[in-house]
Structure 1
Amino acid sequence: MKRKMDPVDAVIVGLGAGGGPAAKVLSEAGYKVVGFDKGPWLRPEEHYSGDELKFQNRSYLWPDVNLMPRTVRSDENSEARIFNFSPVPSNVGGGTSHMAGWMPRPRVSDFIFHSLHGDLEGASLADWPYRYEHLEPYLTKVEWSYGISGLAGADRGEGFRSKPYPSGPLPPTQFGKKFYEGSNKLGINSFPLPMSHLTEDNALGRPAVNRTSFWNQYGDPTLTRSSVATTYIPEALSTGNFEVRADSYVKEVKVGRDGKATGVIYIDPDGVEIEQEARVVVLSLGAIESARLMLLSSSNRFPDGLANDSGLVGKNATFHEYIFAVGLFDKDIEDPLNGWTGNYQSGGSTHFYETDENRGHIGGGIIATTQIGQAINAILPGRPVWGQAMKDADRDYFNYSMKIGFILQDMPQETNRVDLDPNVKDAWGMPVARITNKPHANDIAMSKWQIDKNVEILQAAGATKTTPVYLGDEFTGNACHQQSTVRMGTDPAKSVLNEWGQAHSVENLFVVDGAGFPTAMGVNPTLTIMAHSWRCADYIANTYMKGRSERLALPPIKKS
C-alpha cells in the first residue's frame, strides 16, 4: 500500500524556469507548497566550476540517456530511435542551471501571430489568449527579482517597457565588436542582448564575478549568472511555507471522481512510492515532460490522458532549432578575437524579427554573435577531430573565428508532437516521451534566408571564409527550448488550457511552463516562461484559491 503524506495547498512538479516563480508567489502568499524535482539539489559552490571536461565532455548537467531516454522520429511511419532530444538538466533549477543566459522579451506580434498572418497551410497558427500588455508587468517583475542585465531602448522594435533593467549590459567582447562593425556597415540595429548575468553596480546589490567565458552548459559557482536555484527557490524556502523534494520522480497525477486533481504519486529517493495530496497541482516540467506526465496520468475520467478531452495534449510542439553561420578571419591581418574572454554571447539583433513577405516566409527571430565554443569542442565545420591536425586547426582558427546564431521561430504543426513510446521505458519503468517532428516549409525558408544574412554580416565584419549551417530534415532539439505541447486558448475544443494556464477540464490543474504557448515566438523562451508562471501563480493565489474565477476579455486586433 502506498504511503500518504499530509495534504498541502499546492504541489509543483518541476523546479526550473516555470516552477521557480510559482513556488515563490504561492509560498509568499501564505500557502503550503511542496516542490518536486526528479534530479538532485546541487549547490553552486560545491558542484559547479569552469571545468570544461566535466561539463562539456562528461555531460555533468545533462540527463543520462540510459536512465531518462527519449526517442525521436520524423513521422508516424518512421521507426523511433533513442536520442537525447532537447535535453534540459534534471536538477533543482532545471534549464536555468546551464543556460547561456539570453533573456530577451517577446514582441507584441508574438501574441497575435494568427491574427497578423491568418492560416498557413500545413501549420496550426493560433493567437495567445492574452496579449503583451497583460504579461509586461510580470516581465518587469522577473527582470528585477531574478536579475537581468540589458540596455532599455536599444532594441528599436521592443514593446512598451514600464521599467529599465536593474543592471547595465555586459561590455562587448572582441568578437562582439566585430558583430557590431558588420551590423553597422549594413545598417542593422544591433545591441547588447539582455542576459541573466549581472554587471557591477547593479541595482540589486548582488556581486558580479565572472570566472569563465564559456558559461553555456556550465553551472555557475558564483551568483553572477542568475538561476532559479539561487533566487526563487531560496526566497520560497525563507517563507517557511515551501519544501523541496529533490530526487523524487512524479509518475502520475491522481484524479478524483469529481474530475479534479487530488495530488500526485511519486517515487522518493529510497524507491518508496508515496502519494501527496494537494488542493492544486502545478506542472512545470518543460513542454516535453509536462505533456508526457499528462499522458501517463490516464484514468476512467481521462482515458487518453489527463485533461486531454480535445486530443491535443502533446500536439503542436515547437523546438526553436539553433542554427548559425561561422566566420573565419585572417590571422595575419586581424587581431585575435579571444573567444575565451568575456562571455559566450556578445551582441545581437532583432532587426529581422517581424514579417517581411519579400523574404519568402513569415516570422523571424533573434540573432546573436558568440564564440565558437570551448577549444576542446570548437564548433567549426570541417575541423579535424583528432591528432596533430586538430591541434593545428585549434591553434590557427580558434582565436580567429566566431559565429552568428539564430533562434528559429518554427511553426506549430499538429503532426509535430510528443506521445508515449510503446517500446522504450525509463529507469522507473515508465514509457518515455517519443518526439515526432519535421520542419515546416516556412521553417526551411526562414532558416535559409536568415543564415545567408548572417553570412553577409560576417563578411561585412571582415571574415575571409564563412560557413553556413542550415536547418536539416529534422529538428535536433539542440536549443533545449520546448513549447506548445499543451496549448492555451479560449475554446476547449481547440486548446487544453485557458489564459491562466488552467486546464479547461480539470479546474485545479495548472501548467505554467512553455507547454502552454500557442506559438514558439522568435526569442529564447526563459524570460517569457518565468513571467507567464508568475502571472498564472498570481491567479492561483489571489483568485482560484479564494474560490473565484475570472476570464479575460480581449479587444479586437487593430490591423494597420
Structure 2
Amino acid sequence: MPTDRYDVIIIGSGAGGGTLAYHLAPTGKRILLLERGEHLPRERENWESRAVVVEGRYKAPETWTDKNGHAFHPGIHYCVGGNTKFYGAVLFRLRERDFGPLYHKGGVSPPWPIGYADLAPYYTRAERLYSVHGERGSDPTEPPCDDPYPHPPVSHEPRIQALFDDLRRAGHRPFPLPVGIRLDESRPHRSDCVRCSTCDGFPCLVQAKADAHVTCVAPALEHPNVTLLTGAYVDRLETSPSGREVTGVVVRRDGLEATYRADIVVVSCGAINSAALLLRSANDRHPDGLANRSGVVGRHYMCHLNSALIAVSRRPNPTRFQKTLGLNDFYFGADDWDFPLGHIQMLGKTDAAMVSAESHGLLPAGAAERFASHALDFWLTSEDLPDPDNRVEVGRDGRITLRYTPNNVEAHERLTAKLKQLLRHIGCERTLIPREAYFGKRIPIAGTGHQNGTIRFGHDPETSALDVTCKAHDLDNLYVVDASFFPSSAAVNPTLTIIANALRVGDHLAARLGAQTIAARLGAQPLTACLGVQEGAA
C-alpha cells in the first residue's frame, strides 16, 4: 500500500480536474492526478468519421440503465483530457441573466449563489488559457466585458459567410462562435490548426484543439511535483471516524487496489460519475453517500435539450470547418413567446459515411455523397430545468442508473420551429432532417456531453451539497470541481464555466495551502478584469 501522502488529489483530468491541476502545479505542492482512462492514441482513426461517429471507437465500453430499466451505452469518453478531447471547443460565458432566476413556461431556473461579476475575471483567464477566438459585441446576449477575446474570430468559409449574410438581411444578428483552437489565420503556415472537417466530436490528431489534455495536463506534468496515474479507477472515498474529512482514495489499477491520501481531495469525474462516486462512498457517518446530508447528491441532473438537425442547401456546401456561426436572437424569447427558447449554432460537417449510417445503408454511396455535399448542420440547445427526480443512482453492482424525463420541451420545439422558418431566407429546402448519427431528432439520454447539476452548490446546507467555494458542506477537505456544481444549466455550452470555476476554486485552494499560483504572483493587472472586478475576488 502506498505510504506517500499528497497535498492534493484530483480525480479526473477533464475541463475541471485538468485545469485545476495546471493552475496548482506552480505552487510546488504535491499533486496526484488520477484518470480512469489512458492517453488517447494518436492514430489515423482520430479523423475517420466511420470510426469515431458511426462505430464509436473511443466511447467508454460500459452500459447504464434508464428509468425503465432499459440498457444504453452513454456517449462518454474516459481518457486523459476527458470529454474535452471530443468536444466542439465552443466556449461561451453564461449570460449575465443566467445567474439569476429565469422564468420559463415549464418552471423557474433558480439563481446561483454567486453572480456573473464573481466569475467574470475567471472567464477572462479561461478564455486566454484555452485560446478562444471570438468578437466582443457581436452576440446580442453576451455578458459585459471590456477585454477583447484573446484571438480574432475564426473566419467563415464561403457557404457559411453566405448564411451569415442571409440571416443579417432577414433582420437577425448572427455572430462568430467563440472557439478554442490553436489557429493563426494570419500565418497559416505556422498554425497548428489545419481547419479540418473532423473537429467537432473528434479528437484532434495534430493536437490543435484547446482540450484539457493539451492545454493543461501536459504542461502541468512538466512540474516535478505533479504525478499522473492513468488506468486508475476510484472505487470509493474513505473518511475519518468523525466523517468530517476524506482520509483515503481507494483506487483499482491493473487488478490491484491501493489507497492514496491527501490533505485535500477534489472530485472532477463529470457530473454523473462524480455523483456516482459520492453515492457509492456511503458509510456509517454518511449513510446516503458523502456530502449528501441534504439528499441532493445525484439529483437535479441536467443535460440541455439538444437537437442535431440538417438543412438541405440548394447550393453545394463544401465547407470543411463549419462550426463558426451562432444565433442567440431567441435566447430569452421571441415576438410570439415571452419565455426563453435557447441557442442555435453550427455543427461539425456531415459527411457521406455519416449519411450512409443514418440511412442504414439504404442510400447508395453516390446519393449519400450528394446529400452530404448539400448539408448545413445545426445544433439547437434549450435550457434543461433542474428536477429532483432527474437523478443519478448507483446499484449494488455499481451500475449507474440515470433517471431522466425531459422538461421545457415546448420551448425547444418552438426553437426548432424558428429555425425551420429561417430556411426560406437562407437558400435551403423547407425541411429539417435529424442527424441520426447523433441519436435522432432530439438527443436522448445517451447524449451526456452537457451533463451538469448533480452536486449543486449554495449557501444552505439543507438544499445544497457544496458551499460557494465548491467544498462539501459536510466534509472539511472534499471539493467538487466539474459541472456538478451548477444549480441551473442555462442554454449555452457549459465548458468555459467549468474551466473558469476551476480557476476560481484553484485560487481558493492555493490560499488554503498557503501557496501562490503564477497568476497570483503576477497580480491581476496584466489580466484586465471584466467589470473592474479584481482577479481572485470571488
- Pairwise same-fold verdict (TM > 0.5): yes
1:402 paired residue among 376, 380, 394: 376
Aligned partner of 1:454: which letter?
Answer: L
Contact kept in structure 1, 2:6 and 2:262, CA below 8 Å = yes
Matched, 1:453 2:418: yes
- Greater mean alpha carbon deviation, residues 488-497 or residues 474-483: 474-483
| Equivalent residue, structure 1, for 2:167 | 183
Q: How far apart, CA to CA, are the structure 2 residues paired with 1:98 and 1:309?
A: 35
| Equivalent residue, structure 2, for 1:103 | 91
SS of corresponding position for 1:231: helix
Matched, 1:366 2:343: yes
| Equivalent residue, structure 2, for 1:556 | none
- State the TM-score, normalized to the length of structure 1: 0.85
SS of corresponding position for 2:370: helix
| Equivalent residue, structure 1, for 2:406 | 439
What is the CA-CA distance between 1:59 and the residue it aligns to? 1.9
Contact kept in structure 2, 1:70 and 1:82, CA below 8 Å = yes
What is the CA-CA distance between 1:412 and the residue it aligns to? 0.8
Contact kept in structure 2, 1:10 and 1:34, CA below 8 Å = yes
SS of corresponding position for 1:378: helix
SS of corresponding position for 1:537: helix
Q: How far apart, CA to CA, are the structure 2 residues paired with 1:284 and 1:399?
A: 40
What is the CA-CA distance between 1:27 and the residue it aligns to? 2.0
Gaps of 5+ in 2: 516-538
- State how 1:284-363 maps to structure 2 within 5 Å: 284-330=268-314, 334=315, 336-339=316-319, 341=320, 343-355=321-333, 358-359=336-337, 362-363=339-340
Contact kept in structure 1, 2:291 and 2:474, CA below 8 Å = yes
| Equivalent residue, structure 2, for 1:7 | 5
Q: How far apart, CA to CA, are the structure 1 residues paired with 2:127 and 2:491?
A: 19
Matched, 1:227 2:194: no
Query: Relative to 1, partners in 2 of residues 1:91 and 1:459: Cα closer, same or farther, differing over 3 Å?
Result: same
What is the CA-CA distance between 1:162 and the residue it aligns to? 4.1
- State how 1:384-423 maps to structure 2 within 5 Å: 384-387=359-362, 389-422=363-396
- State how 1:91-130 maps to structure 2 within 5 Å: 91-112=79-100, 114=101, 116-117=102-103, 123=107, 125-130=109-114
| Equivalent residue, structure 2, for 1:558 | none
Contact kept in structure 1, 2:305 and 2:406, CA below 8 Å = no
Q: How far apart, CA to CA, are the structure 2 residues paired with 1:379 and 1:94?
A: 29
What is the CA-CA distance between 1:316 and the residue it aligns to? 0.6
1:516 paired residue among 467, 480, 485: 485
Query: Relative to 1, partners in 2 of residues 1:410 and 1:434: Cα closer, same or farther, differing over 3 Å?
Result: same
SS of corresponding position for 2:373: helix
What is the CA-CA distance between 1:208 and the residue it aligns to? 3.0
| Equivalent residue, structure 2, for 1:59 | 56
SS of corresponding position for 2:365: helix
Q: How far apart, CA to CA, are the structure 1 residues paired with 2:195 and 2:335?
A: 44
2:71 paired residue among 82, 86, 90: 82
Aligned partner of 1:265: which letter?
Answer: V
| Equivalent residue, structure 2, for 1:505 | 474
What is the CA-CA distance between 1:156 and the residue it aligns to? 2.4
Aligned partner of 1:451: which letter?
Answer: T
- Greater mean alpha carbon deviation, residues 232-241 or residues 471-480: 471-480
What is the CA-CA distance between 1:61 and the residue it aligns to? 2.1
| Equivalent residue, structure 1, for 2:532 | none
What is the CA-CA distance between 1:207 and the residue it aligns to? 3.1
Aligned partner of 1:99: which letter?
Answer: Y
Query: Relative to 1, partners in 2 of residues 1:355 and 1:418: Cα closer, same or farther, differing over 3 Å?
Result: same
- State how 1:488-503 maps to structure 2 within 5 Å: 488-503=457-472
Contact kept in structure 2, 1:216 and 1:344, CA below 8 Å = no
2:352 paired residue among 362, 375, 399: 375
| Equivalent residue, structure 2, for 1:16 | 14
Q: How far apart, CA to CA, are the structure 1 residues paired with 2:412 and 2:382?
A: 7
What is the CA-CA distance between 1:64 and the residue it aligns to? 1.0
SS of corresponding position for 2:25: helix
Aligned partner of 1:63: which letter?
Answer: A
Cα RMSD after superposing both structures: 2.5
Aligned partner of 1:88: which letter?
Answer: I
SS of corresponding position for 1:536: helix
| Equivalent residue, structure 1, for 2:504 | 535
Query: Relative to 1, partners in 2 of residues 1:500 and 1:206: Cα closer, same or farther, differing over 3 Å?
Result: farther
CA deviation map 1:33-80 (0-9, x unaligned): 100111002354x57742333322332221113xxx22112xxxxx31
| Equivalent residue, structure 1, for 2:25 | 27
What is the CA-CA distance between 1:149 and the residue it aligns to? 1.2
Aligned partner of 1:107: which letter?
Answer: R
| Equivalent residue, structure 1, for 2:521 | none
Aligned partner of 1:385: which letter?
Answer: H
Q: How far apart, CA to CA, are the structure 2 residues paired with 1:473 and 1:217?
A: 17
Gaps of 5+ in 1: 74-78, 426-430, 547-560
Contact kept in structure 2, 1:166 and 1:202, CA below 8 Å = no
What is the CA-CA distance between 1:469 and the residue it aligns to? 5.1
Contact kept in structure 2, 1:263 and 1:280, CA below 8 Å = no
What is the CA-CA distance between 1:237 and the residue it aligns to? 1.5
| Equivalent residue, structure 2, for 1:76 | none
Contact kept in structure 2, 1:250 and 1:267, CA below 8 Å = yes
Query: Relative to 1, partners in 2 of residues 1:130 and 1:47: Cα closer, same or farther, differing over 3 Å?
Result: farther
SS of corresponding position for 1:4: coil
- State how 1:212-223 maps to structure 2 within 5 Å: 212-223=196-207
Aligned partner of 2:163: which letter?
Answer: F
